[in-house]
Amino acid sequence: MSIKILGIESSCDETAAAVVEDGRVVLSNVISSQIDIHTLYGGVVPEIASRKHVERISQVVEGALKDAGCTLADIDAIAVTYGPGLVGPLLVGVSYAKALSYTSKIPLVPVHHIEGHICANFIENPELKPPFLCLVVSGGHTHLVMVKDYRDYEVLGRTRDDAAGEAFDKVARAIGLGYPGGPKIEKAAREGNEDAITFPRAKVEGSVYDFSFSGMKSAALNYLNSCQMQNIPVVQEDVAACFQRAVTDVLCDRASAAIDEYKPTAFAIAGGVASNGALRAKMKDMCDRKGIPFYNPSPIFCTDNGAMIGAAGYHEFMAGNIAGLDLNATPALKLGEH
């Protein structure tokens, strides 16, 4: 018999819900993005995000059930992101899921947002099973994770400062591309010369697998300042191409070193930045050369969505990880804490 999980996600600026069967088959996936609103402010405003989640969450959840041809009676568990993320937005999803679980008597399953991103890889790749190595790159996280088993993660490296997506967003804003920066940088980069400017590729002392993007971001901002002082016109496309190249080089370099040391049988990427075509091409190329399979979710499953929470929620549910009504939003939740 199949297990159907309703996944709910509201940790940042997407209100999302989905119905997922057995952790892999997506029956519906509804995403209400707030990007147009936050674009006006150049980034996510947490208070506005919370209010928009409150306005939209019922329709999104009802839409996910309807699209899947389900009612609550068909759902085995309600999985919800309870961290990490913005506390206000997280609380909306958690409170909604708790209320739904209480009134419908359907078990409530707590899901870690990064675990959700990793599990997005199971959706379109039925053959993918742990163990494998996964690079999670999003607006809030840059983690190199050994997925030893379902629910069993070892973080090999993480960013010491900015996340990769955050760096894209900040540089995009500085060159006037607006929010969210990642997709805009990718588009502009296609028209740019990636050899025009050299940005530093910072190594982090102490850990081979840690990342640092704030130095790279500052180098880009310094370059823009010096152009302005000397009245040199800035070619947006060149800055985008060179910055994207620098970020993707560093991500690829660390992943390559970890593959050489840990010798995983597969490598996957996940998170919003994983929808970047240049990053995907570079990683695929690297894995081809090493002779290991490379996986990435379709872009719609890279950026925040409910399907990834339904996929991760399946494994939590099967392991008996059921939350009580005291479940709380946990903004700084660590990966691997159940």
Binding ligand KG4 by CB under 6 A: which of 23, 116, 130, 140?
140
Scan residues 210-229 and list those touching Zn ion (CB under 5 A): none
**C-beta closer to Zn ion: residue 117 or 170:** 117
Beta bridge partners of 33: 14
Q: Are strands 132-137 and 152-158 parallel, antiparallel or unpaired?
A: unpaired
Strand ranges of the sheet holding 152-158, from the earlier edge strand across to the other edge: 152-158, 142-149, 132-137, 267-270, 294-295
**C-beta closer to ligand KG4: residue 46 or 183:** 183
Strand ranges of the sheet holding 77-83, from the earlier edge strand across to the other edge: 25-33, 14-21, 4-9, 77-83, 108-112
Closest CA to 252 of 120, 129, 144: 144
Closest CA to 102 of 324, 310, 313, 251: 324
Distance in angstroms (rounded) separating the CA atoms of residues 179 and 44:
9
For residue 299, the minimal CB distance to ligand KG4 (Å) is 7
Part in contact with Zn ion (CB under 5 A); list of ranges 92-100, 130-138, 226-234, 307-315: 130-138
Scan residues 2-21 and list those touching Zn ion (CB under 5 A): none
When asked if residue 304 is in the footprint of Zn ion (CB under 5 A), the reply is yes
Beta bridge partners of 6: 19, 78
Scan residues 268-287 and list those touching ligand KG4 (CB under 6 A): 271-273, 275-276
| CA–CA distances in Å: residue 235 to residues 4, 192, 196, 226 | 50, 8, 10, 13
Q: 169 touches which of Zn ion, ligand KG4, none (CB within 5 to 8 A by kind)?
A: ligand KG4
Interaction pattern, residues 166-205, with ligand KG4; x per rule: CB under 6 A: x-xx----------xxxx--x-------------------
Part in contact with ligand KG4 (CB under 6 A); list of ranges 26-34, 42-50, 86-94, 163-171: 163-171
Scan residues 136-175 and list those touching Zn ion (CB under 5 A): 138
Which residues of this protein are in contact with ligand KG4, per CB under 6 A?
12, 138-140, 165-166, 168-169, 180-183, 186, 271-273, 275-276, 303-304
